Structure 1
Amino acid sequence: MKIYLDGKFVDEADAKISVFDHGLLYGDGVFEGIRLYGGNVFRLEEHLERLEYSAKAILLKIPLNRKELAEATCETCRQNGLKDAYIRLVVTRGVGDLGLAPWLCPKPSLFIIASKISLYPPEHYEKGLSIVTVPTRRINPAALPSTVKSLNYLNNILGKIEARQFGALEAIMLNDQGYIAECTADNIFIVHQGEIITPAASQGALRGITRGAIFDVAKELGVPLREADLTRYDVWCADECFLTGTGAEVVPVVKLDGREIGTGHPGPITQQVLASFRRRVLVEGARI
C-alpha cells in the first residue's frame, strides 16, 4: 500500500510521523473520511470544503490548496490501483514540544490513506441494526463544536465502547438536554407518517456529507424532510429509522433499546433512500 505523506508517496511500512506530533499527543488536527465508488470520489469538493472549515476553526493551515488536495487524494487511489475504497485524509498540527502550544508547531503534516472499511456486516443492510442509547453524552457544541471534525474522538469512542458492552454495534448519544445528537459514528434519521426527520447540528450532530446527500435524495423522491429536536420516544414510536455516514453509508435500524421500530424490518422509504443513494455515489464527485 502506498501512503501520501507530506508531498511524497511512501510504502505503508515507511509512513511514519514523529512521537512529538501534536496530532498524536493531543488530538490536535482535523480529518475527513471519503469514499471512492467505481472510480468516483463521492462529493470530494464537499469533503475538502468541510476540511478547510474545520482547519480554519482551529487556526490550522493546510499545506495544500483545494485543487492540490483533490489531486493528491485521487492520485493516492491511483497509486494503489483502487476503484472502490475508503479514504482517510488527515492534517495534524505537526511536530512541537510537550506543551499544548500550537504556535510552537511550525509545520503541519498531511497524509492520505486509501484502503477498505466495513463498519457493519452486509446482512445488517438487508435486515437492519439493533442499537441502544448509551450513558455518555455528546459534548456540548458550546464546549467543542461538533462541526469541527477533529482528531479527538474520545467522546465517540466512549459511546462505542458502551454500545459493545450492551451488545450493540452502534448507539445513540444524547446531548446534555436529553435530545438525540447523533450516533457514535453516524447521523440518524427517522420516518414518521411519511416525513423524514433528523436532529439539527445545533443539537450536537455532525453536518455529515452523507447526511447532506439524504436531503437531496428526499427532494428527488418527493419525501418531506425537516430538522427537529428528537427524543428516544420519537425513535421508539417512529415508522422507520436509518443511519448515515461515509463509512456506514445508509443502514436501516429496526430496534432501539429493545423496542421494535415500526414493523421490525427496514421500511419502504428507507429502502428508496438507500437505492437512490447508491445510484448517486457513482456519478456525484470526481473521477480518479
Structure 2
Amino acid sequence: MPVAVNIDGRLYGRDEARVSVFDHGFLFGEGVYEVLRTYGGRPFLYPEHMRRLRASAARIALECPLDDDQLLVRIRETMTAAALEGEAYVRILLTRGVGEIVYDPQACPTPTIVIIVKPHVDPAPDALAQGVRIALASVVRNHPGSVDPAIKSNNLLNNALAMQQALREGAAEALMENHRGELCECAQSNIFFVRGGVLLTPPVDAGLLVGVTRQFVLEVAAAVGVPAEERTLRREDLATVDEAFLTSTTKAIVPVVQVGDARIGPGVPGPITRRLMAGFEAAIPARLA
C-alpha cells in the first residue's frame, strides 16, 4: 500500500517515519487530529476540518504553528510523495511535542505536526446497497466533564473499546450512549434516524463530537427539502424509527438496518436515506479545496 508521512515538514516512507517516545502525544495522549478525504484529488470540506482542528487544539491550550494555507501545502506535498492512483485518506495529527516526562505544557516548546497519506477506501458496495448492522455498545461515551468528546483527541481509548465490542459481535460500528442513557454517537461516526419523514440526530449537548460530515448532511437535508432536528433519543426509540444511517468523513453516508437486536424499519435502506445520499454526492464539487 503506498503511504507517505510528513513529520514537521520532512517526508518519509511508511517504514522510516518515527516520532520521539518523549513526544507528549505518545506519553500522555496530548494531541488532536483530523481526517480528510479527497474527491478528484482535492480535499473535501477542508476549511471546516481546519476550524475543528483549531477548536480542538484550543481546548487543550495547544496552538498549531501553521496557518491553513501552509498546512494545505504540506498535505499536497505528502499526497504527491504518496503517488496514489486513486483518492487519498489524509490524517493530520497535532501533538504537544517533545519534552520532559511532566504534565507542564511549558516543557514542550514546539508542537509536532504529522500528516499521513494513504489510499482512501470506500465502504463496500453491499454496505451501501443493503445497509449495515451496528452494535449497541456497553461502553459509555466519555462524560463531557471528564474528557470532552468535542475535543477530537488522539486519545481514542473510549472509542476503541466500543469498537472492539462491535468487532467481536461482527458489527460494522458501535453506537454509544452517554452517562444519562441517551443515544450519543458511534465509535467512528455520527448517527441519524428518520421518523415520520423527519431527520433526527442527537443534540450536541448529548456529549458528542460535532462531525464535519454531520453538519454537511444537515445542510444537504435543507437543500433537498428534508426537515431535520436535533432530538434526544434513547434505546427504546430504536423501535419507533423508520430509517437510520451513520456519517463520517471516510464513509459519507452508510445506511443502518439493525442496531443491536433492533431492526430498523423494514430492515432495508429507506427512501430518505437514499435521497440524502444522492444530494450528498451532488453537493461535493462545490466544497473541494
Task: Give your verdict on TM over 0.5.
Answer: yes
Q: SS in structure 1 opposite 2:167?
A: helix
Shift of 1:157: 0.5
Partner Cα distance (1:236, 1:87) in 2? 37
5 Å matches for 1:45-84? 45-82=47-84, 83-84=86-87
Does structure 1 residue 159 correspond to structure 2 residue 172?
no
In the alignment, residue 199 of structure 2 is paired with which amino acid?
Answer: I
Task: State the Cα deviation string for residues 198-251 of structure 1 (Å, max 9, x = none).
Answer: 011210111101001101110111010010101112223211000001122210
Moved more, 244-253 or 97-106: 97-106
In 1, are the aligned partners of 2:4 and 2:118 still within 8 Å (CA)?
Answer: no
Structure 1 residues without counterparts, runs of 5 or longer: none
Distance of aligned partners of 1:103 and 1:122 in 2 relative to their CA distance in 1, 3 Å threshold: farther
In 2, are the aligned partners of 1:38 and 1:282 still within 8 Å (CA)?
Answer: no
Shift of 1:148: 0.8
5 Å matches for 1:49-128? 49-82=51-84, 83-118=86-121, 120-128=123-131
Task: State the Cα deviation string for residues 91-135 of structure 1 (Å, max 9, x = none).
Answer: 111111223322211211101111124485331111101112111
Aligned to 2:42: 40
Q: SS in structure 1 opposite 2:200?
A: strand
Shift of 1:143: 1.8
Q: SS in structure 2 opposite 1:281?
A: helix
Moved more, 48-57 or 82-91: 82-91
TM-score, normalising length: structure 1: 0.95
Aligned to 2:287: 284
In the alignment, residue 20 of structure 1 is paired with which amino acid?
Answer: F
Partner Cα distance (1:18, 1:192) in 2? 50
In 2, are the aligned partners of 1:195 and 1:225 still within 8 Å (CA)?
Answer: yes
Task: State the Cα deviation string for residues 2-60 of structure 1 (Å, max 9, x = none).
Answer: 32210222233322110111111111101000111112210101101111111111111
TM-score, normalising length: structure 2: 0.94
Distance of aligned partners of 1:281 and 1:156 in 2 relative to their CA distance in 1, 3 Å threshold: same
Q: SS in structure 1 opposite 2:58?
A: helix
CA RMSD of aligned residues (A): 1.5
Partner Cα distance (1:11, 1:47) in 2? 25
Moved more, 137-146 or 112-121: 112-121
Distance of aligned partners of 1:53 and 1:86 in 2 relative to their CA distance in 1, 3 Å threshold: same
Structure 2 residues without counterparts, runs of 5 or longer: none
In 1, are the aligned partners of 2:64 and 2:94 still within 8 Å (CA)?
Answer: yes
Partner Cα distance (1:60, 1:181) in 2? 27
Aligned to 1:259: 262
In the alignment, residue 166 of structure 2 is paired with which amino acid?
Answer: A
In 2, are the aligned partners of 1:3 and 1:111 still within 8 Å (CA)?
Answer: yes
Does structure 1 residue 230 correspond to structure 2 residue 233?
yes
Task: State the Cα deviation string for residues 144-177 of structure 1 (Å, max 9, x = none).
Answer: 2211101000000110111122231211100010
Matched residues, number: 286
Q: SS in structure 2 opposite 1:151?
A: coil
Does structure 1 residue 275 correspond to structure 2 residue 278?
yes
Shift of 1:85: 1.3
Aligned to 2:136: 133
Aligned to 1:206: 209
Partner Cα distance (2:226, 2:252) in 1? 19
Q: SS in structure 2 opposite 1:162?
A: helix
Moved more, 181-190 or 96-105: 96-105
Aligned to 2:15: 13
Aligned to 1:249: 252
In 1, are the aligned partners of 2:238 and 2:262 still within 8 Å (CA)?
Answer: no
Give the 4+ runs in structure 1 shifted more than 6 A: none
